[in-house]
Amino acid sequence: MTDPSKTARRRTAVAALAVPLLVGGLVAVGAQPAAADDAVGSATLVPIQITGDPAERFSLVILGDGYTAAELPKFREQVDEHLETMWSIEPYKSYRNSFNVYAVEIVSGESGVSCDDSLDSPRRDTPLKMAFWGGCSASSVQRLLTVNNTIARQYANLAPKVDQILALANSDTYGGAGGAYATASGGNALSALISPHEIGHSLGGLQDEYDYYTRGVTTGNYTGGEPSSAHHTKLTVDQMAAQQVKWWRWLGEPSESGGVIGAYEGGMYYSTGVWRPSRHSMMKTLGYQFDQVGREIMTERISSKVPLVPASTPEGTVARDAVLWVETSHPVYHEIDVTWSVNGEAVDLGGNQRNLDLATLDVAAGATVTATIVDNTEFVRDPALRARASMTQTRTWTVGDTTLPEATPSTPEITEATTTDHAAGSSDVLYVETNHPDGRIMDVAWQVDGVTVPNPYAKRNLPLATLGLGAGEHTVTATVTDPEFPDAGSVVQTWTVDAAGPSVEATITAPIASSTAANGEPHYVVNEQFDMKLVATDDRDGALVTEFRLDGDGWHNYYGWPTDKDAPFRFTPTGTNIDDLIYGNLGTGGMSLSPFQEREPGYGTHRVEYRATDAAGNIGEVKAFTVTVLGGDDADPRQVIQADVTGGALSMAVSSTDPVVLEPVVLTGADQSTSGSLHAVRVSDSRGTAAGWNLTGQVSDFTSGTGVILAENLGWTPAASVETGGLPTVDEEAPVVTPGAGVAPGAGLRAPLTLCAAGTGHSAGAFACSGGLELGVPGSTRSGTYTGVLTLTLI
């Protein structure tokens, strides 16, 4: 992406030998107006991500409500933010290929939804009838955002298949709901995190781990029996381990959402008497990942919605020389394991092959051939979950006593492949599926940037993580051919691979002091609190997801601040109470918690790490800083003084609008020259970036009506100086300007040449650029008054 502060801005000067500057402007092109015939209630289906046959994918349909025709681009932008956030969270990230995603753009006659944000707020007539307060009910809670299920289903049915509906409201107010008709507000700072949480309910069957029902109010002790919820219990850690129940397989492991897997009191809307696996986790605190317990459940539930083996050689009796094959589902970062056996004895094929050529084996008629297909993801440890058909299947055939007829040509086909609607990431497993002609295996040749990747097993998968791709963009191709009939043609699939992760920069407000540690990490000293602003950038388009973690705790989404997505995140010793939830707590109990939870203030030194994920799933470099928070008797008496300095523009101005008149020339028949001085040009670089600039000049031919003096006959001797005042600056930021090289008549300004320039880091300030002019007049020149146009360009 281009930094606007570094975008070249052209300024032109036109002169009669040297003439007044005409300053050009920038033209802003706005969004196209909505079409006049956009009828209220009309809808458009927009495929967002299509990874395969709808019958073999989990279909997520996202609806918008309260978006007028002019606001539909806003809806699409919010859809992208929601999806990129979801794809940054496991197991959605690893099983992204299991989802087809569609957006339904619905035109609303009114902007916004009902009862936002109070019961006194307007009731709006929107297509989906979305409303806060559980449909504007005083007996509900504000954050319960409802939708008319019947109408939502009618719009969602525009998609070829519907497994999950998510309705986004045109609102910045926090809210949502779970179920088959999940809802979320589209524009709240936390809204993109509501969707994966609510789908955790509707798809995963996960329970809320809140230790309250009404925020800020304890709900007392749970007194019921052992919860049916797989991630809640009344048992202690020792009891779970001894009885080998609930999440005992994960006990003691560092939690993906912070701390270690154990037993933390509170959950299912009770403050005490029931325990959850992790301090945080997405089902308790928006911003964190699923912990391993929730992730395991979600992995199996997502897998259950997609065929593990969508196609295979039909089971039954097969020819002795048949080629048996299976096709599997395709997680983003790992391969499904396929093993083969004959009469119970393993066949060692190597390469995790999807094909078994019986002609290469001495298999007798009546033998039983079995393919076992298993998703051995590390996300699942429970053997009972692994044994389900969502994660383990077999296919069985009996070898007959017949052979295949003589082979005939078959046109190569790619029947399915990794989607190309976004760039692949550097750790993705790319795949193609092909047609399956009798008796042979189609060849698949892989190339990366034109270089062939060895593929001795004709594998349909290419794990990019094994190739050690360098940072940057790469092109990968898969070419499918028929090995027995090379003249039958070929078919090629091409992908763009983004192997460069995003970067992120952190800004800490108002430190009393700062320094750099021996490991290169910044260290700051603050009184009582500090704000952190994270800004991620990437070299490709697409939403970026930024995360941070405090003192090695779980990675937490950086969404700005709960009340303002553009505001920095604030850390204080005991956190900040917003709508009866605590955010940014440096003290005991974790960064996010309920206000009634006791905690000790978190003065002292803390370490914050941060990173970003791009639209291809690449995670950028992890950076970090430390900060010492002082307070009470230890507060530092120094005061912080701040001043905001705002950048301006890169511009130039000429000291005079009069033409430059050179000395007259009396023709003698010999070559001569005439001279003068260029009007001084003042260059002002107030962008505040010191990104560098260059001022060039180019002249036209000189004409008089009777003759022409060619442009290359104008030479010059540039001069330049700094005009910025005498206030002291650090050497690294001092303004420096360099005049361009002089050029003599005959080799002059037909092409652009530099008058003066300032390099990166030293270009800020004001500068004067001028110079002497010398025009060569050939002895054959016709008499007359010659005029040329000198154009100055500042970039």
pLDDT the model gives residue 721? 96
Q: Which residue has the tokens 């049915």?
A: 157
pLDDT (0 to 100) of residue 47: 96
Q: How far apart are CA 142 and CA 138, in angstroms?
A: 9
Cα–Cα distances in angstroms (integers) from residue 455 to residues 319, 357, 458, 493, 674, in the given order: 27, 17, 5, 16, 73
Q: Give the pLDDT of residue 626.
A: 98
CB 147 within 8 A of CB 171: no
In order of 320, 356, 394, 403, 694, the CA distances from 400 in angstroms are 6, 15, 19, 8, 80
Q: Tell me what pLDDT residue 637 has.
A: 73
For the question of whether the overall pTM of this predicted structure is more than 0.75, the answer is yes
Alpha carbons 267 and 144: distance in angstroms, whole number: 19
Beta-strand relationship, 58-65 and 99-106: parallel
Which two three-digit tokens encode residue 118?
């109070």
Average pLDDT per block of 10 residues along the chain, 795 residues long: 31 33 23 52 96 94 97 96 95 96 97 96 97 95 93 97 95 88 91 89 93 90 97 98 98 94 96 96 95 98 96 97 97 97 93 94 95 98 97 98 93 96 95 96 97 94 96 97 94 97 95 93 95 96 94 95 94 95 95 94 96 96 97 73 88 92 95 96 95 96 95 97 88 94 96 96 95 96 95 95
Judge whether 298 and 380 are in contact, CB under 8 Å.
Answer: no
User: What pLDDT is attached to residue 30?
Assistant: 27
Among 368, 320, 336, residue whose Cα is nearest residue 95 = 336
27 burial (CB, 10 Å; 0-12 / 13-18 / 19+) is: exposed
3-class DSSP state of 149: helix
Tokens 């154009």, residue? 791
Burial of 476 per CB tally in 10 Å (0-12, 13-18, 19+): buried
Predicted local confidence at residue 31, as pLDDT: 29
Q: Where are the beta strands (DSSP E) in 392-487?
A: 392-399, 414-417, 424-425, 429-434, 443-448, 451-453, 461-463, 473-481
Backbone dihedral region for residue 584 (phi beyond 0: left; psi -120 to 50: alpha; all else: beta):
left
Strands (E), 449-489: 451-453, 461-463, 473-481
Q: In 499-578, which ranges are E strands?
A: 503-508, 513-516, 522-527, 530-537, 545-550, 556-557, 569-571, 576-578
